[in-house]
Amino acid sequence: MSSRPSILVIDDESAILDTVRILLKNEGFDVAVAQGGRPGLEAMEKSPPHIILTDIRMPGVSGIDILKAARERDPDMPVILMTAQAELRTAIEAVNQGAFHYIQKPFGNDELVSICRRAAETRQLKTENRTLKQEIRRRDRSQIVRPLGTSKAFLEVMKLAEMVAPTESTVLISGESGTGKEVIARYIHEMSPRTEGPFLSINCGALPESLLESELFGHVKGSFTGAVRDHEGLFLAARGGSFFLDEIGETTPATQVKLLRVLQEREVIPVGGTETVPVDVRLIAATNRDLEEEMRSARFRSDLYYRLNVIAIHLPPLRVRKDDIPALAAAFLKRMAAQRQEEPRVLADDALEAIMAYDWPGNVRELENALERAATLAHANAIAAASLPVRVTERRSEPLVSDRPKGNPNLEAIEQAYILFVLQSEGGNKTRAAEILGIDPSTLYRKLGRYEGDA
């Protein structure tokens, strides 16, 4: 905020506007005036002030309307209400709803200046406090998130996440289960202007359709057996923040229609309700399915997909970014040690070799669980391979190249093996596989269909 706080004075009486403008200008404020509620709203939108001083009773748009609009635009903006004796109760209720203060007409100059100065100081403190919190969060994020990946693939994901975080765009994160999609979603939220608001999440595949819709959109009392009271739902509970819909590909067509309405209209209709309720939330969705294939199979609505896929972030599986494994392992072991209040354990050479050789089909989640088991069972500070799960230390896969080949494969067999290898590396995502192979997706589908026919 500048050294001269700006204040917008709104009243339908020109004499009051002139008097207050001169008074506050002499006291060091940058003063703008608007005669009437509607011009006041227009002035607030055109050049948002630091403080608003408004009369309560005005024709058309009242001071209470000004208060609501100001708080929607900027929850930290102090709004001071000028009120007559007959409107005193309304003013007190407005203060309970977020107005900074009220002053009763006729008021003394010293009283008005004192309230406006306190409002300016409060606004300045809130701004400084938010800046400090954001700086602390930035430091925390750099210490917690960055060490979890140093590979080129992971750094590309983080770069894209940081680019989209300041926007309001919907984000669709794809990747296999356990790759850390929710971690990226939280990171986007923490880097966004909505960081002061809540971050709520739900796994769409974990609930039956009827219960999922109630959790998402809310319900009204009596809408179904057991609905003994109104329930606002997560879209409304996440107001001002971010809402993470994990495994959105598991939703039914009926739920997809309602999600589309939220994205298009920014409103929900509670289960059993008839009135729409506006929502203010940034949506981040995730899936481990190939939604383009789901669209072609008519299992996922194309209109919803294109609404969700504004910003697409693909999180590669751990097996194709093994450079991240040492950093991930160290971070997990450090966190586990902090929880147990002990010195962090380290990996012995044979344990490190084992976790680097393993493909981790369960991705980051499986790695974390394996290390927790190993840290619990290890007798020394250095974790040996023997403490890891057997599946990690056993070598079951055959090498791609052998000094004793079983025969000379023809070119078609080599092509098929390579296509299936790339597809598996991308977690079954055919669109991504086609990009890597440098072929059209329709060509890939045709080849896969032929392989299935030959099987």
Question: For residue 400, what pLDDT is reported?
Answer: 47
> Tens of pLDDT along 34-90?
999 999 999 998 999 999 999 998 999 999 999 989 988 888 889 999 988 767 788
Question: For residue 408, what pLDDT is reported?
Answer: 62
Question: For residue 3, what pLDDT is reported?
Answer: 67
Domain ranges in the chain?
Answer: 6-128, 156-316, 319-393, 411-454
Parallel, antiparallel or unpaired: strands 267-268 and 277-278: antiparallel
Question: For residue 205, what pLDDT is reported?
Answer: 86
DSSP code of residue 410: -
- Crossing angle of helices 441-454 and 430-437, in 10° steps, is 110
pLDDT at 29 over 60: yes
Three-state secondary structure of 69-135: HHHHHCCCCCEEEEECHHHHHHHHHHHHCCCCEEEECCCCHHHHHHHHHHHHHHHHHHHHHHHHHHH
CA gap 38, 329 in Å, rounded: 59
Question: For residue 331, what pLDDT is reported?
Answer: 86
Mean pLDDT of the chain: 85
106 preceded by a cis bond (ω within 30 of 0): yes
CA gap 47, 17 in Å, rounded: 18
* pLDDT band, residue 17 (cuts 50/70/90): very high
pLDDT at 25 over 90: yes
- Its CATH architecture, for the domain 6-128, is 3-Layer(aba) Sandwich (3.40)
CA gap 324, 360 in Å, rounded: 12
Q: Which residue has the tokens 């990946």?
A: 149
> Tens of pLDDT along 298-328?
999 999 999 999 999 999 999 888 889 998 9
* pLDDT band, residue 112 (cuts 50/70/90): very high
Considering the domain 411-454 in this protein, what is its CATH number?
1.10.10.60
Distance from CA of residue 23 to its chain's centroid? 45
Taken as a whole, the chain contains a residue count of 455
Q: Which fold has domain 156-316?
A: Rossmann fold (3.40.50)
Q: Is the dihedral of CA 14, 18, 24, 25 positive or negative?
A: positive
190 and 146 in contact (C-beta within 8 Å)?
Answer: no
128 and 155 in contact (C-beta within 8 Å)?
Answer: no
Query: Buried b / exposed e across 68-82, counting CB within 10 Å, b at 16+?
Result: ebbeeebeebbbbbb
Q: Three-state SS for 203?
A: strand
**What's the half-sphere exposure (Cβ side, CA atoms, 13 Å) at 406?**
4
Token pair, residue 26, equals: 């002499």
- For 249, list phi and psi in degrees, rounded to 5: -65, -10
Question: For residue 160, what pLDDT is reported?
Answer: 92
Q: Three-state SS for 378?
A: coil
> Tens of pLDDT along 128-181?
777 676 665 555 554 444 445 778 888 889 889 989 999 999 999 999 888 889
Question: For residue 353, what pLDDT is reported?
Answer: 92
Q: Which fold has domain 319-393?
A: Helicase, Ruva Protein; domain 3 (1.10.8)
CATH topology match: 319-393 vs 411-454: no
> Tens of pLDDT along 372-389?
999 988 888 899 999 999
CA gap 270, 218 in Å, rounded: 5
CA gap 225, 85 in Å, rounded: 49
pTM for this predicted structure: 0.61
Q: Which residue has the tokens 């590979």?
A: 151
Rg (C-alpha) for the chain, rounded Å, is 29
Among 319, 314, 420, CA closest to 360? 319
Count of Cβ atoms closer than 10 Å to residue 365 Cβ: 15
pLDDT at 405 over 60: no
